[in-house]
Amino acid sequence: MDATPELSVVVDRRYEQGRRIAVGRRLGGVELLSTSIGDPITPESNGSLGSIHYEIDISGCNDGVWLMVIDHAPEAGGEVKALFSPYRTCVGVVVATAMALAVADLGGGEFIDEQIQMLRPGHTDPRHVVKVTRLPRDQGEFATRCERYLRQFPHLGDWPRDVSMP
């Protein structure tokens, strides 16, 4: 896979004890155009915070990203937050990072890297993160380019170990 892969957004995918039990439904063009991140989300009928769950499939491989959008209660700041959780591979982590940076930049928000901590100290301006971590445009397979991106951070100690899911 040399080109940047196509991403598919899937809803209603379900798992039980770590096994997929429902494949879910891929959102089509009209649904994607009408989907936004940042708008208020209706709370659950039981009073729980409003949230929406998506799974992002990456074409040409078995990697992906989970996306949960949460509308926090007013007493917790009332912010809508998008949480990207990648499959623990170089491809998954880089795609999740790219998506989080894009959402933060387009939405005027912050990029918060609490778990991976690619940059020390953490930077929250998405444009700054792109500026200081961008690598020269390179040919080659997408998975190899993802690995090269993450290996520029020596403190990650070659994490994640797997470049892509088998």
Q: Over the stretch 13-43, which tens digit does the pLDDT of each residue have? A: 999 998 999 999 999 999 888 887 766 777 7
164 is a domain residue: no
Among 155, 137, 104, CA closest to 96: 104
- Segment 71-117, tens digit of pLDDT: 766 665 667 788 899 999 999 999 999 999 999 999 888 999 888 88
| Domain extent at residue 126 | 7-156
Quote the CA–CA distance of 66 and 120 in Å, as a whole number: 25
Per-residue pLDDT at 127 exceeds 80: yes
Mean pLDDT score across all residues of the chain: 87
61 is a domain residue: yes
Cβ atoms of 99 and 111 within 8 Å: the answer is: no
- Segment 41-79, tens digit of pLDDT: 777 777 777 778 899 999 999 999 999 887 766 665 667
124 is a domain residue: yes
Quote the CA–CA distance of 68 and 86 in Å, as a whole number: 11
Cβ atoms of 150 and 95 within 8 Å: the answer is: no
pTM: 0.86
Predicted local confidence at residue 1, as pLDDT: 55
- Quote the number of domains for the chain: 1
161 is a domain residue: no
95 is a domain residue: yes
Predicted local confidence at residue 2, as pLDDT: 60
